[in-house]
Chain A
């Protein structure tokens, strides 16, 4: 019987914070019986460091064919490792890559997968918020291995010291796993001041209607002395730069005030800003999930309300 295996995603020579957070949670639940797995090319050094965050063993699949962060070859590595070593629990921190790997491994092994968990107990019950977080569902597994993906930012890494034994994992790839190829990876460049340090963020979403309406957010942000944020949808649509993106694939922020303008409040966005002190949301859709977790929600036309609000704030602050 073996304990838990944690998928350690890495980027530019470091294991991601989310993965290390899940590793720490696993160490808390399963004590010394926790292993990590690092998959990539030239990643041996990345692996060794994971001992300080709770892994007693780190498996390394180091192969040129694993250089690009594509899911399917990683499914091959993890599925074989879980089968050969008999891991009963396999844990992932949510990411674009990890979700695809987890689902592939679950299918290959015929294993149960629960996702978007915010907690897990040692006896195998997870907590998954549902219906715009209006209810917490306690979820379980009908057998082993138990696979789980944790929501972004659920656990912070805990550096406890210690060293991990590094072992080699076998790399045997399926024919179809190598069909998808990475053509290009463009890493985002930072533009302008970081929103991570701002006390006030005014963020815009698809409800703005078009890129030109971001000026409404910029003016309100300026009046409040804050920075401008954006949702993934509008960044992907090219309305605003990636460096301003708040959410799962963007930045996690916790300003004193977060004003969400035309943002529906999808989980993808919520996980990046739910730690904000006060959340004010302006949206025309009364059913938008953002109203479930805003401190003040305004149902109305942002094109009417935001310019008025900017004027009032300017008057109040004497600017």
Chain B
């Protein structure tokens, strides 16, 4: 079985994410890291392939620096990585991103295409649905359990009303939730081995070109403040301070 996992390299949360005032877009100039939510999809792909055999290919779109973030997926155990990177694709909206990923996936022809449940830097939780539409493949979203058997994939997902179990024939697109597994940490051997694994970079021309964004950013405003949040570091007295705070707010 060949599994493609679509992942995103996002600005490191620890470095502080900010909007670039010149472009009104997320500032991606700093260090990039694998979006946390995507590590669950990578882990699930590795488990499926470890059980049934096959190959895990990681597919991403982003600046060239994103290869460093992709290397983490290789260190976890993915076999190779494909990065779609082109200035013409910078600032792509949902449709542009979905088209680019769909183009890269077409080249790979995987049996199963996995996504994380959302991106860690504010992306919408719906990219896979646009990719599935473009590829004309069935899709299952927010799966917290996944089984592949007899040429079809079955996913269990939580909705606003309870749990749905959905089955679809392969090839299929599945987005997994962060409840599906606990992602492994790369081993030292994995980290060393990752450097030798194949990494391919594709340009817009390889995947059918770039498309104009259909959405725009008009401007930025500060949000309405909720009031002054107070943050304390526990030095052993945190519980006492919480009780004082609650008493002060007449909640005890």
Contacts and interface: CB of A to CB of B under 8 A. Distances in A.
Contacts, number: 272
Interface in B13-54: 13-14, 17-19, 24, 26
Interface stretch (B106-114, B123-131, B195-203): B123-131
B187 interface: no
Contacts of A235: 158, 179
Contacts of A110: 95, 214
Interface residues of B, number: 81
B207 to A, nearest CB: 15
A236 B117 CA distance: 13
B130 A104 contact: yes
B140 interface: yes
Contact of A72 (B93, B138, B218): B138
Given A100-B126, A183-B167, A313-B243, A296 B232 contact: yes
A39 interface: no
A280 B246 contact: yes
Contacts of B216: 112, 139-142
Contact of B245 (A131, A180, A296): A296
B95 A233 contact: no
Interface stretch (B61-69, B71-79, B83-91, B233-241): B233-241
Interface in B193-252: 212-223, 226-227, 229-234, 238-243, 245-247, 249, 251-252
A189 to B, nearest CB: 9
Interface string B124-149: 11111110111011111110100000
Nearest to A248: B160
A69 B128 CA distance: 17
B166 A299 contact: no
B159 A305 contact: no
B19 A112 contact: no
A141 B94 CA distance: 12
A212 interface: no
A169 interface: no
A107 B130 contact: yes
Contact of A106 (B95, B154, B230): B95
Contacts of B167: 180-181, 183
Nearest to B219: A138
A182 interface: yes
Contact of A136 (B13, B221, B227, B230): B221
A297 B232 contact: yes
A110 B164 CA distance: 29
A300 B19 contact: no
Nearest to B179: A236
B160 A249 contact: yes
B178 interface: yes
Given A106-B95, A301-B234, A316-B252, A115 B124 contact: yes
A75 to B, nearest CB: 6
A309 B124 contact: no
A114 B160 contact: no
A52 B77 CA distance: 56
Contacts of A312: 239-240, 243
Contacts of B150: none
Given A106-B94, A129-B223, A142-B215, A182 B164 contact: yes
A112 B98 CA distance: 12
Contacts of A297: 229-232
A304 interface: yes
B191 interface: no
B13 to A, nearest CB: 6
Given A287-B13, A296-B230, 16 more contacts: A97-B159, A100-B141, A104-B132, A106-B214, A113-B94, A131-B18, A131-B121, A185-B164, A186-B165, A232-B177, A233-B177, A234-B179, A249-B158, A287-B14, A298-B242, A317-B252
Interface of B: 13-14, 17-19, 24, 26, 93-95, 98, 121-122, 124-130, 132-134, 136-142, 144, 154, 157-169, 172, 177-179, 212-223, 226-227, 229-234, 238-243, 245-247, 249, 251-252
The 3 closest A-B pairs by CB, nearest first: A300-B234, A236-B179, A112-B214
26 contacts: A99-B141, A104-B130, A106-B94, A106-B95, A110-B95, A112-B93, A113-B215, A140-B215, A143-B214, A149-B126, A175-B136, A180-B139, A180-B140, A180-B168, A184-B164, A184-B165, A185-B162, A185-B165, A233-B178, A236-B177, A248-B160, A287-B14, A291-B231, A299-B231, A309-B243, A313-B252
Interface of A: 11, 16, 69-72, 75, 95-97, 99-104, 106-108, 110-116, 125, 127, 129-131, 133-143, 149, 174-176, 179-188, 200, 224, 232-237, 242, 248-249, 256-257, 278, 280, 282, 286-287, 291-301, 304-305, 308-309, 311-313, 316-317
